[in-house]
Amino acid sequence: MDKLVITAAVNGAEVTRENTPHVPYSPEEVANAAIEAAEAGASIIHVHARYADGTATQDKEVYREIIERIRAKSRVIVQVSTGGAVGMTASERADVISLKPEMATLSAGTVNFGDGVFYNAPADIEEFARRMMEHGVRPEIEVFDTGMIATAMRLMKKGLLLGPLHFDLVMGVPGGVPAEMANLLHMVSMLPNGSTWTVAGIGRAQLTMATAGILLGGHARVGLEDNIYYAKGRLAASNAELVSRIVRLAAELGREVATPDEARKMVGITK
């Protein structure tokens, strides 16, 4: 098998300090959490921008500070979110692409997201894809259900995505595909030939889905955006703690962990 690429989703847009005191807010806090996760073994850091009070934002100047702080101290891949927070417009979500980060998420469809709706109209998805191609940003295709894989393949036929593609199979969002092994196997079987994929299990599914990713030859995403607990009733102390557990599991299961430069080659980053 290829080496394991670990993504750390360090803060998200929805988790607050009412949920866990350990979620980073400010650019300095996010960068510090990213660097710690990279030192623990993550090769991709998925970040959302927030103001110091925790409010989610797609302000590209906040993203710029996060990226610059991380790059000053680490070779880790910085992957920005174009998902933002539920309720944000497509226009404000897309602005960060102009910073030309190495990677950005590209959500491939609309999904009920807990009590809200994460809305992605077909025209908006295509516009995000065009902008990423224009700025040389490597997309990670975010898939919340099987139909979104078909959407990505249609974008390839239109020339808006270039293969091989890299997917993030997000499983366990209330309203999306349940985090069950049969569903993961089915989704992996649908991916275009040559694709790479990572799996993000939400909540209690994070550990089981990450383990499945290790065993099946995929990759794993962990972090406080998706899950705030290390074990039942015990909050994770940091993103780095969640990453370290996957590094240990991978070693026990005979899978080496990729460095950031190795991960770049594996997920198709060329710049």
Report pLDDT digits (tens) over 190-236.
Answer: 999 999 999 999 999 999 999 999 999 999 999 999 999 999 999 99
The reply to whether the predicted model has a pTM over 0.95 is yes
Pairing of strands 138-143, 166-171: parallel
SS3 205: helix
- For the chain, list the domains and their CATH numbers: 6-267 (3.20.20.70)
Is the Cβ–Cβ distance between 84 and 48 less than 8 Å?
yes
pLDDT tens by residue, the chain, 271 residues:
899 999 999 999 999 999 999 999 999 999 999 999 999 999 999 999 999 999 999 999 999 999 999 999 999 999 999 998 888 888 899 999 999 999 999 999 999 988 889 999 999 999 999 999 999 999 999 999 999 999 999 999 999 999 999 999 999 999 999 999 999 999 999 999 999 999 999 999 999 999 999 999 999 999 999 999 999 999 999 999 999 999 999 999 999 999 999 999 999 998 7
The pLDDT, as a whole number, for residue 171 is 98
Report pLDDT digits (tens) over 227-265.
Answer: 999 999 999 999 999 999 999 999 999 999 999 999 999
The pLDDT, as a whole number, for residue 1 is 84
The pLDDT, as a whole number, for residue 266 is 97
Residue 173 and residue 113: Cα distance in Å, rounded? 6
Q: Name, in order, each residue with C-beta under 8 angstroms of 129's C-beta and a sequence gap of 6 or more.
A: 106, 139, 155, 160, 161
